[in-house]
Structure 1
Amino acid sequence: MARIAVIGAGMGAMAGAARLAVAGHRVTVYERTETYGGAVRRLERDGFAFDTGPGVLPLPAVWRDLFLKTGKEPLEACVELTQVDPAARHVFADGTEVSLPNASRAGVVAALDAALGPGAGDRWGDFLVRAREAWDRTRRPLLEEPLWPNWPVLAEREPYPAVPHKRLLRTRRAGTLAEVGAWELRDPRLTALLEGHALAYGLDPRVAPASAAVLPYLEHAFGTWYVRGGIRELARAVYERCLARRVEFGFGAEVTGVREKDGRAAGVRLADGTVAEADFVVAGVAPGALPDVPPPAVGEVPPQRGLPSRLTVLLALRGPRPAGTAHRTVVHTPDRDGELESLFGSGGQGATAPRPTVTVLRPDDPRLVPDAGHEAVTLTATVPAAASAQACADRTEAMITAAERALPDLRDRLLWHESRTPADVAGATGAPGGAVPAPALAAAGGALLHPANSTALPGLFTAGGWSHPGGGLPHAGMSGALVAGLIVEGPDFRGSR
């Protein structure tokens, strides 16, 4: 039985902790804040409750696997999962609207044809077939296996089978997501639908590789899910599973460094001056959070830099949620170039997107409201990391204005609103500027890969969104599985099955 110190109580770190405890190890989690979940938090006020992190759950099989492997109770015995149907309603810049059914290619094709015109659905359906091929090529190396030692193969090879495109007497293939939209989808609304998935993860579609096509495919193939009571309930269930497996937690326990002895990790140093000895250390923290964690060695994947953050606006509304309301509505910006420049351009850190793309979440969940005469609504948008208070205030107002396109009586019903800014994200996760990590993607020269879960210091491993396989709830869960496999089975571990 090994002693294992886990730094941070984020979702990936807790997933690894539960698996390691089941394998017979003594696991202690040290969390500098007073609660668990990392970015998966909740705000409660006046009888309203809101998720302040992710609001929907893709690929729940990752968490089902965790509960299956760590105890007798399945995930569904610990939380109530429901499919979100329609998966999303989209409001485009020209006023066109479409509601896309959950996990139904035929239904999506029919809906797009009806809303956008004949042929639109088939173009999107054909794109999904190609996206599936990219998913099949990258699923194991980017989600289920430790990062390959020869990772440059993933960096150089574009797995998306782009359609040949003739341009100026030359035949080209799309290399970026924006080119996929322009050359293969050929409709600004379909392009907005495609690019919206990248934007939600903080990716610039103009430079994101075509392999980012797996992001809408993942949602299409495995559905969009909601946890009754909010996604925070998933964090609670994972925390309680850890406790049931005798994982120990220390809250308000800030780790200031990793103890090294005889050339390997041997424990952690705490802010109160104590040292907790351990045989292995798992760091579930952002790059730079611990000054003596060694950077990747020469030739290894460096940490991602320059990623944006997320602004969340919580709306308490008088009046009941109307019957038939979509759980999720994406209001697309009428100024795509302006939004992308505000986020990814040279002046993005202080710029304000006058009309941002906004996701409006309106769960049909009585647990989130004081009574049936009220509604809890959450708005989210991608914003620059370290955005100033004034920039966040401006964007909050712009987000509420954009949301009125989906909810016309919003301001008349508004009781109060609160915002969760990049500074709040930084406080919850420790990520500089509140940056939010993106999922690992192939191609693009490795710019969207993440450092391996093993490090240059033997005995030290990393879990969570800032290490392989990257950000997002499914990826965080898999990072925990990979770290547990590497510790339990050693360097010969070849991945989850």
Structure 2
Amino acid sequence: MIGAGMGAMAAAARLAVAGHRVTVYERTETYGGGVRRFERDGFRFDTGPGLLTLPAVYRDLFVKTGKEPLEDCVELVQVDPSARHVFADGTAVSLPNASRAGVVAALDEALGEGAGRRWGDFLVRAREAWDRTRRPLLEEPLWPDWQVLAGKEPYPAVPHKRLLRTRTARTVADIGRWELRDERLADLLDSQVLAYGLDPRSVPASAAVLPYMEHAFGTWYVRGGVRELARAVYERCVRRRVEFLFGAEVTRIVEKDGRAAGVELADGTVADADHVVADVDPARLRALTERPLDTGGDVGAEPLAAPFARFALLLALRGAPEPGIAHRTVVHPAAPESELDFLVSPGGDVPPPPTVTVLRPDDPALRPDDGHESVVLSAVVSPEALWEEEATVRRYTELLLDAAGRAVPGLRERLLWHEVRVPGHVEDETGARSGAVPAPALAAGEGRFLRPGNTTRLPGLYRVGGWSHPGGGLPHAGMSGALVAGLIVEGPGFRGSQ
């Protein structure tokens, strides 16, 4: 196993239970991939995902790999409200967790009568897209006939009585313009897709499954931070006698008789293996092999556009949080189109204000005492921006602090210190080029939003994790681990979970 990311560990635990001897080679000094933690002066911060969707993926992992269920190993808390949105015109709305009726009522009250109904109707159509794509996109390996996921848009067309015809949205932005018909609702939808590192103007309408997934299955927090989930998965692996070697960089995948037969480490050591599973980004995987892994027609060999990255600030605040705070607040900019333009072409211009996510977990484990608070601010950014320049970092720091001031009263007066997290930190931790973060795989879009399959042209070599099918995100990484384990244990005839 190359890499100790969440996908690799999910596969390792399952393979160990199936009787395989599993060794994980991780070039850094810890597990979890991008699911990390930063600690200073009694403050603790998640530096990767701060929330969890589809916890059933990890519940299944723990059921299949031992007697202790997930809830015996970590404490899961449903976040309510799921999010508070603060719009540029000053309007704010808190969306209840996993309650369609509650969301409809909240939107009607905050944005005006009819807004909730339009959003509720959108969720119904998003569910239809989810039902059409869930199994082939998430629960089955990506088969050679992957084109069935690339063609017809699964998000349904909407009939228009005045036009006496239906109108089919091609992109998420189309859904906002044609169906939601309110700039704030469109901004709400766009921000939910942008949070996954996807441009709503170019991503297919099938991306509606992402906000639907969060709405239908809820948003969850892991007490102590999401890093605790990585710890629990790592400890499950250790209990199943998976061996971890940290500080062990793989420099080559060894081939013998036309198949993967082991790995070579930086110190020249060669370890033989019947199967090699790689949880690394495509560029690094290509560098480790002696042959091309993809044919010209292989899905996902070259993505439509370079994945986005994230810029984050870790804030240590004096003073207790005010009662009833939202765990997550999304602050919307006045010019979202300018934000998206700059993401695609950062150039040398001054960046416009971005969409900023403010995470304020009310968790004693994350602060030195009840007189302080730890807060994480983040924004989706281009990995191509000039992050090595102090002026770029300073400009983004001010933009995030300005936006967060609309969500956290007296923010700057309460600020003790802050830590900056640029894309280079993610590159150091995960090896992903320029700190890019993979997005979940999506249907339609001519296959450009799918990820490479878990098998490769080199027999015995498998891909796992966010850079492979079914894409990025905590639940998707867990599902990729289940798929790879199934392919190894059951062979090419494995058809996915039943």
- Please report the TM-score for the alignment, with normalisation by the length of structure 1: 0.97
Partner of 1:358: 356
Residue 340 of structure 2 aligns to a residue in which SS? helix
1:222 pairs with 2:217: yes
1:48 pairs with 2:43: yes
1:380 maps to a residue whose letter is S
Partner of 2:69: 74
Residue 289 of structure 1 aligns to a residue in which SS? helix
* TM superposition shift of 1:303: 4.4
Give the counterpart of 1:348 among 346, 349, 356.
346
Partner of 1:184: 179
* TM superposition shift of 1:387: 2.8
Partner of 2:471: 470
* TM superposition shift of 1:496: 1.4
| Stretch moving more, 263-272 or 381-390 | 381-390
Partner of 1:279: 274
> Contact 2:81–2:96 (CA<8 Å) still a contact in 1?
yes
Partner of 1:446: 447
Give the counterpart of 1:369 among 367, 391, 407.
367
2:448 maps to a residue whose letter is A
Q: Aligned partners of 1:392 and 1:142: how far apart in 2?
A: 37
Q: Deviations over 1:183-214 (max 9, x none)?
A: 00000000011001111111111111000000
> Contact 1:303–1:451 (CA<8 Å) still a contact in 2?
no
Q: Aligned partners of 2:119 and 2:38: how far apart in 1?
A: 37
Calculate the aligned-residue CA RMSD, in Å: 1.4
> Contact 1:12–1:465 (CA<8 Å) still a contact in 2?
yes
Q: Aligned partners of 1:164 and 1:339: how far apart in 2?
A: 32
Identity %: 72
Partner of 2:118: 123
* TM superposition shift of 1:444: 0.7
> Contact 1:319–1:413 (CA<8 Å) still a contact in 2?
yes
Partner of 2:93: 98
> Contact 2:77–2:223 (CA<8 Å) still a contact in 1?
yes
Partner of 1:306: 306
| Stretch moving more, 166-175 or 95-104 | 166-175
> Contact 1:267–1:277 (CA<8 Å) still a contact in 2?
yes
> Contact 2:172–2:190 (CA<8 Å) still a contact in 1?
yes
Q: Deviations over 1:126-160 (max 9, x none)?
A: 00000000001111111100012111121111000
Q: Aligned partners of 1:171 and 1:12: how far apart in 2?
A: 41
In structure 1, stretches of 5+ residues that fail to align are 1-5
Partner of 2:378: 380
* TM superposition shift of 1:230: 0.2
* TM superposition shift of 1:165: 5.2
Residue 281 of structure 2 aligns to a residue in which SS? coil
| Stretch moving more, 141-150 or 470-479 | 141-150
In structure 2, stretches of 5+ residues that fail to align are none
1:317-332 matches, within 5 Å, as 317-332=317-332
Q: Aligned partners of 1:334 and 1:148: how far apart in 2?
A: 43
1:456 maps to a residue whose letter is R
Partner of 1:143: 138
1:492 pairs with 2:493: yes
Q: Aligned partners of 2:126 and 2:316: how far apart in 1?
A: 38
1:132 pairs with 2:132: no
> Contact 1:352–1:395 (CA<8 Å) still a contact in 2?
no
Q: Aligned partners of 2:32 and 2:238: how far apart in 1?
A: 14
| Stretch moving more, 171-180 or 73-82 | 171-180
Q: Aligned partners of 1:209 and 1:392: how far apart in 2?
A: 32
> Contact 2:160–2:166 (CA<8 Å) still a contact in 1?
yes
Residue 254 of structure 2 aligns to a residue in which SS? strand
* TM superposition shift of 1:331: 0.4
Q: Aligned partners of 2:447 and 2:192: how far apart in 1?
A: 20
Residue 357 of structure 2 aligns to a residue in which SS? strand
Q: Aligned partners of 1:339 and 1:396: how far apart in 2?
A: 16
2:394 maps to a residue whose letter is A
Partner of 1:3: none
Q: Aligned partners of 2:54 and 2:150: how far apart in 1?
A: 24
* TM superposition shift of 1:34: 0.3
Q: Aligned partners of 1:24 and 1:303: how far apart in 2?
A: 36
Distance change (3 Å), C-alpha of 1:325 and 1:351: same
Q: Deviations over 1:315-343 (max 9, x none)?
A: 00000011100000000111111100110
